[in-house]
């Protein structure tokens, strides 16, 4: 496995592979890798002849400076894990390599980034689009893999690919969870023992919501989930939105859409966790 730090080296390496007719799969990450990331890597390895993964903590998508400062970083361990899985090429650029000058591009995602994470983390998805478009430009992947844990991010990236008329196919991958149901996240390692103990309630409440009869109204279900999670002193629901999976806009009745998701963000002390579940 090769590890490269510059865009020029990466372009050269990928060009060689493309010339040999190899199909390129790409898994962008911010590192501190866990089994969720590994599931994306394994899918890419299975689908493509050549898999590239990147480790880059992108400053432009952090609206909270402390979150950026505290974000876990362990590149050596990550690289060893990627090598063990059989990844072909890892890209670990510096901030200056990705942003030799400030990226002033402003994307317009219409209504899909005005809700949920977009509303609570101003500028977040613009930063995501900046970095992912730059990485796509450098890697030129045929397929790119993203986790459904970041449900809204997938919608944003699909929209960006459409706007920029890119050829890459976006492959959504299912959420990987710990044995107690907590969605794996690099931020989980920042939780103290009491917080970690409480966090699985997020998925329990979502699962309970999924089991409710359709006679329960959307608003009653919403209140039920918020109430159940907020009853735990360690947890504070920031939003719970029951939305149409394509438009990401809230629905007020079960008949409004055939594909309905519940998307949640919960504050656990200074840490924010997100999760989602299909409700219809």
Query: Residues interacting with ligand AMP, by CB under 6 A?
Result: 29-30, 36-37, 39-40, 146-147, 149-150, 173, 175-176, 183-186
Residue with smaller CB distance to ligand AMP, 74 or 224: 74
Q: Are strands 169-173 and 50-55 parallel, antiparallel or unpaired?
A: unpaired
Between vectors from CA 113 to CA 250 and to CA 264, what angle results, nearest 5°? Answer: 50
CB of residue 203 to ligand AMP, shortest distance in Å = 11
CB of residue 255 to ligand AMP, shortest distance in Å = 30
Nearest to 251 by CA among 229, 272, 279: 279
Active site residue 37: yes
- Tell me which residue has its CB nearest to ligand AMP: 147
Residue 122 backbone class (left: φ over 0; alpha: ψ -120 to 50; beta: rest): beta
What whole-number distance in Å separates Cα of residue 147 and Cα of residue 136?
17
Contacts of 76 (CB under 8 A, 6+ apart): none
Residue with smaller CB distance to ligand AMP, 183 or 225: 183
Residue with smaller CB distance to ligand AMP, 66 or 233: 66
Nearest to 245 by CA among 269, 262, 226: 262
CB of residue 147 to ligand AMP, shortest distance in Å = 2
CB of residue 135 to ligand AMP, shortest distance in Å = 11
Q: Are strands 235-244 and 260-268 parallel, antiparallel or unpaired?
A: antiparallel
The active-site residue, picked from 34, 37, 124, 227, is 37
Residue with smaller CB distance to ligand AMP, 118 or 147: 147
- Per-residue HEC secondary structure of 52-92 comes to EEEECCCHHHCCCHHHHHHCCCCHHHHHHHHHHHCCCEEEC
List residues with catalytic annotation.
37
């Amino acid at each position: 496995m090769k590890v490269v730090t510059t865009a020029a080296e990466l372009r050269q390496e990928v060009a060689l592979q493309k010339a040999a007719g190899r199909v390129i799969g790409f898994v962008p990450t911010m590192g501190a890798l866990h089994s969720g990331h590994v599931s994306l890597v394994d899918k890419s390895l299975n689908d493509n002849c050549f898999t590239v993964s990147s480790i880059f903590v992108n400053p432009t998508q952090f609206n909270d400076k402390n979150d950026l400062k505290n974000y876990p970083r362990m590149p050596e361990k990550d690289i060893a894990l990627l090598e063990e899985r059989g990844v072909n090429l890892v890209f670990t650029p510096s901030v200056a390599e990705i942003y030799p000058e400030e990226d002033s591009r402003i994307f317009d995602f219409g209504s899909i980034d005005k809700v949920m994470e977009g509303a609570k983390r101003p500028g977040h998805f613009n930063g995501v689009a900046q970095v992912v478009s730059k990485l796509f430009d450098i890697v030129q992947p045929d397929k790119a893999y993203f986790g459904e844990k970041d449900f809204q991010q997938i919608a944003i990236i699909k929209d960006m690919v459409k706007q920029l008329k890119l050829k890459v196919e976006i492959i959504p991958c299912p959420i990987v969870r710990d044995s107690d149901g907590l969605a794996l996240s690099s931020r989980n390692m920042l939780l103290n023992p009491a917080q970690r103990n409480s966090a699985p309630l997020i998925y329990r409440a979502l699962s309970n919501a999924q089991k409710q009869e359709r006679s329960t109204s959307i608003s009653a279900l919403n209140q039920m989930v918020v109430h159940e999670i907020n009853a735990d002193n360690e947890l504070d629901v920031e939003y719970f939105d029951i939305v149409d999976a394509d438009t990401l806009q809230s629905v007020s009745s079960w008949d409004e859409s055939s594909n309905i998701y519940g998307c949640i963000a919960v504050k656990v002390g200074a840490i924010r966790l997100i999760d989602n579940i299909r409700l219809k």
